[in-house]
Amino acid sequence: MKDTEHKFYLVRENVLPQVLKKTAEAKEMLKKGQAKTANDAISAVGISRAAFYKYRDYIFPFREASHGKILTISLILEHTAGVLSEVLKTIALAHGNVLTINQGIPLQGVANASISFETAELKDDVDQLLADLSRIPGVQKLELIGQN
């Protein structure tokens, strides 16, 4: 691998070491203005300055990595009028730009669907949009299956 190439991994938060979670938390506090300085943030979360500065450029929320990307989600939808429409409306209201929609024929009361959309203009972060989509009545399952 060349020095300029980087590998990225999507990892669930619950398996991250505490120092990485606390570094991300300190960065979020700074971003939201909950801490005025890095020293305030690292004191609040309980990590050392050395740890914060060691990891701060290497950990970031999923929403930052996915901004300006194309995401593909897979859904299992109840075979009820308006469910897919509500999903598309939610993406549109968040300023996501839908590129493709694929939906299978409903079997046993549910249909599989996949939707690809651009995230460059999202008004909220991707985590919030995915949470909003999963709360729509009739959405039985939602998974992020790809990112370009």
Close Cβ partners of 58 (under 8 Å, ≥ 6 residues apart): none
Q: Which CATH superfamily is domain 66-147 in?
A: ACT domain (3.30.70.260)
pLDDT of residue 72: 92
Summarised one tens digit per residue, pLDDT across range 14-71 is: 888 999 999 989 988 888 889 999 999 999 999 999 999 999 888 877 655 555 678 8
Output the average pLDDT for the chain.
87
Where are the chain's structural domains?
13-60, 66-147
Give residue 81's region: left, alpha or beta (phi > 0; psi -120 to 50): beta
pTM of the predicted model as reported, rounded to 2 decimal places: 0.59
pLDDT band at 87 (very low <50, low <70, confident <90, very high): very high
Could you give the CA distance from residue 21 to residue 24 in angstroms, rounded to a whole number? 5
User: Nearest Cα to 63, choosing from 140, 131, 16, 137?
Assistant: 131
Q: Determine the Cα angle at 46 with ends 19 and 37, to 5°.
A: 105
